[in-house]
Amino acid sequence: MAIIISDDDVRKHLTMAECIEAMDVCFGDFAEGKAKTLPRLRYRVDAPNDSGREYFANVHIGAVPTYGMACVRAGSNMLVKGGAPGRKTMSSPDSTNWTVIILYDLNTAELVAFMHESHLSGVRVGATTGVAVDKIARDDVAELGLFGTGRQARANCEAICTARPSIKRVKVYSPTQANREAFPSQVQLDGVEIIPVDTSDEVVAGVDIVCSMTNSTSPTFDGNLLEDGQMVISVANSDVTLKRHEVDETTFTRASDVIINDWDSVVSNQQTELLDLIESGAVDRDRIYELGSLCTGEVTVKQTHDNIVYYKNNTGLGMQFAAAGAVVYNKMKNADTNRVVPPEWLAAEEYA
């Protein structure tokens, strides 16, 4: 019998530390050829009855045998055409997110859960960043510079501080003053001081980790301002529907190593901000590594006081939802809930 898992259920049953562990497992499985995940599929279609908006689909598929779970994430959103310059603007008349995560048992092929996506989506991105920080960052990092104040920024801030409890100070910047001033009350971390700053330059200066988690389509900081010894993290990527460059070419070329989640997604999603630099010879393909190879120990990349390491959290993968979803489902599957879907509503006989 399939259960309905809400955003509130995810908040209750999935801690950031648990999600970081789940991402570590699934990326390790992926590197060893056990987990399966396909590059995300995105497309846009004009809204037939509204010339100012367009329909946006964002689909992820994947499976993680260690957790016995497969997943289809069916993303469904509306976008504003010609929104704020340099930004991808979501639009729903009533702020409803119709995206659903569907979980399947790998042992039986049974559909076991429908999940809300809103909260989990931010947590699994943040937790994947947490894995990268755990594998790469120095043990003595103390200060984080953060671009962005939205869902992804909040989740990544929590994940980075979870992976490195040594962090005691976060400088945060948003071009919207009200957003950056509200951020400290939205992310409360024990022993961590969160300070809004007035310029992007202030975010980068003197910090150990620079993290950009925005919906900007143009670079949020000047790579020339980066200092030796910094780890850089970003989330925005180009794809077949939108060209985005959250960091500049200088950041890529100054990095001693570049870590990505999935190379196939770089190619299939046409992430030209990296592909173009490889083609021109500005970035060496041999110094680009997948996160899973760090999880298995096949590759070691470390932030030192002398280098710049760049983690490009370059794509969402279906296996992330399968692994994190399994953690929540396993806590809820035997609990009493009236939010169930009878199997006869979902199962059908195969054709003879």
213 has a pLDDT exceeding 90? yes
> Which of 22-31, 112-121, 263-272 is least confident?
263-272
- Whether 314 has a pLDDT exceeding 60, the answer reads yes
What tens digit of pLDDT does each residue of 285-295 get? 999 999 999 99
Q: Which fold has domain 2-120+318-345?
A: ornithine cyclodeaminase, domain 1 (3.30.1780)
User: Is it the case that residue 141 has pLDDT exceeding 70?
Assistant: yes
Model confidence at 92: pLDDT above 70: no
| 3-state SS, one letter per residue, for 28-91 | HHHHCCCCEEEEEEEEEEECCCCCCEEEEEEEEEEEEHHHCEEEEEEEEEEEECCCCCCECCEC
Superfamily of structural domain 128-312: NAD(P)-binding Rossmann-like Domain (3.40.50.720)
- pLDDT for 86 beyond 50: no
Distance in angstroms (rounded) separating the CA atoms of residues 351 and 162: 50
Q: Where are the domains of the chain?
A: 2-120+318-345, 128-312
Look at residue 324 and tell me whether its pLDDT is greater than 70: yes
Where are the extended beta strands (E) located within the chain? 2-5, 36-46, 53-64, 69-80, 100-105, 111-116, 143-147, 169-173, 193-196, 209-212, 231-234, 257-260, 288-290, 309-312, 340-341
Average pLDDT over residues 26-43: 94
Contact 238, 259 (CB under 8 A): no
